Structure 1
């Protein structure tokens, strides 16, 4: 059985306060993007292993047992004593890019196992399991536009469709430390709540919608800022960094056929597609 975990972008990302536990409360909007990994699970009929992981595509750092798809399997196996499985994961979504690739893989693994082994878990229950794997994992269970609060784990559905708009997504060969990005944030609330901003025409988002991480990341990595500027020069209606970086996306009108022909560097990951 095979499935295709997709990425997400953040439309706006505001760090509103620091919590007593050291984490930060935020507000953001997750929107699904059709950049996809491939995930396949089959029953393992040989050897004594409970789970076997084969990885291909973009390189994934770390040991296999620390991969979120393996953790997702072990989470459900502890409850349902699942058969041994052979997992194939092809990575197309860049890691450490603010695109939620690992979180998506984990959520889709839960959904795939639920279907394959007829566990009959509801979306609500799957979300509870997903939340145990990571703050934004639960978003990918329903995989629809979502307003997120708390540490990115409290969700509210929103009415927002960008269907037909073109997206250009650029991930430069730059690593941004999320810990360092947070360390330089000064929490505050925006004048206009994000839920209200998205009701405005997209042409107004450039002045109203903010990713707070840009203020700390751009001075350290001017090349990321330059990507955003290039996207605007190419005609993007709205462009921003997603998450804490280093990916930047630009949204273009559906009829715009000349989106972002700039050279973003030989090592940059560049995706051009249409939102659903």
Structure 2
């Protein structure tokens, strides 16, 4: 295989997020329930024989040295191959949203180049590279919804029914570092879920909060406004990750499948919003050996 086209890199939502500790290096320890959703970036990748790594932006322009290029460089250095790649990306997931778009793109690059460069590395071999790129990247190497612990490196598959979700992203983005350093950051006791696969059917995630939400609302009025808008429309709302996107679970009778979010509520001008579904599995879940 020399090229692969139309690779979908999904966004994620944190159904809840607890801060349960802090490591000596300053990283916070978390417990969270991650779900991938059908809001995608799309990547097209072609193998190069000259060793060059190039990114081509088909949608929203990305920073010159983004996570996609960093992922490709890291895998090339770790594997010692002489190949390069052309990475074409149609960016649709909002940045600075807490939806993991950049992390999903980076994981997609690792997965695709693992195949295009004929490495055939296992999940366990790719995982340390993913963690070097960011705390959310290991999740996107996984199979689907997951219970996540540590700084993002401890994952267990979660048995989760498909959810219908309204997602709303205000124009303002939030710096993750500032949110974690806020005096309004909340703390939670660990839920101490037992080892093994995690059955969400026996767990009511709506009873749990996002410990970063209060800090985000104090820093960004638009997050509070988004929470109020979704709460008024659907009766529940919560921020994902460190924000600024928020979401609500939507009941099965609240809107027809083909309806857009604008038909259910008034979306402020310049904001991004969609009605989404959670995914039972990652689009490239079967691409990693082992």
Query: Considering the TM-score relative to the shorter chain, is it more than 0.5?
Result: yes
1:31 counterpart = 2:23: no
Alignment of 1:226-265 (within 5 A): 226-236=225-235, 238-257=236-255, 261-265=264-268
Q: CA 1:240–1:101 in 2, change beyond 3 Å: closer, same or farther?
A: same
Q: Deviations over 1:87-132 (max 9, x none)?
A: 1111001111101111100111111112223321112222232122
1:268 aligns with 271
Give the gaps of 5 or more residues in structure 2. Answer: 280-290
Partners of 1:255 and 1:67 in 2: CA distance: 41
| Preserved CA contact (<8 Å) 1:28 1:147 | yes
Pick which of 223-232 and 24-33 moved more. 223-232
Pick which of 117-126 and 171-180 moved more. 117-126
2:85 aligns with 85
SS of the residue corresponding to residue 270 of structure 1 reads strand
Q: CA 1:198–1:216 in 2, change beyond 3 Å: closer, same or farther?
A: farther
Q: CA 1:192–1:150 in 2, change beyond 3 Å: closer, same or farther?
A: closer
Q: CA 1:193–1:255 in 2, change beyond 3 Å: closer, same or farther?
A: farther
Partners of 1:209 and 1:196 in 2: CA distance: 16
Partners of 1:56 and 1:232 in 2: CA distance: 35
TM-score calculated relative to the size of structure 2: 0.83
Partners of 2:190 and 2:106 in 1: CA distance: 35
| Alpha-carbon shift at residue 242 of structure 1 (Å) | 0.4
Partners of 1:40 and 1:186 in 2: CA distance: 39
| Preserved CA contact (<8 Å) 2:35 2:146 | yes
Q: Deviations over 1:119-160 (max 9, x none)?
A: 211122222321221111011012411111112222122222
Partners of 1:178 and 1:214 in 2: CA distance: 12
Q: CA 1:244–1:90 in 2, change beyond 3 Å: closer, same or farther?
A: same
2:222 aligns with 223
Q: CA 1:74–1:191 in 2, change beyond 3 Å: closer, same or farther?
A: closer
Partners of 1:134 and 1:263 in 2: CA distance: 35
| Preserved CA contact (<8 Å) 1:17 1:187 | no
Q: CA 1:158–1:49 in 2, change beyond 3 Å: closer, same or farther?
A: closer
The partner residue of 1:50 within 42, 49, 52 is: 52
| Preserved CA contact (<8 Å) 2:143 2:157 | no
Q: CA 1:191–1:229 in 2, change beyond 3 Å: closer, same or farther?
A: farther
Q: CA 1:44–1:245 in 2, change beyond 3 Å: closer, same or farther?
A: same
Partners of 1:232 and 1:265 in 2: CA distance: 15
| Preserved CA contact (<8 Å) 2:72 2:109 | yes
| Preserved CA contact (<8 Å) 2:186 2:212 | no
Partners of 2:48 and 2:92 in 1: CA distance: 25
2:288 aligns with none
Output the aligned Cα RMSD.
2.4
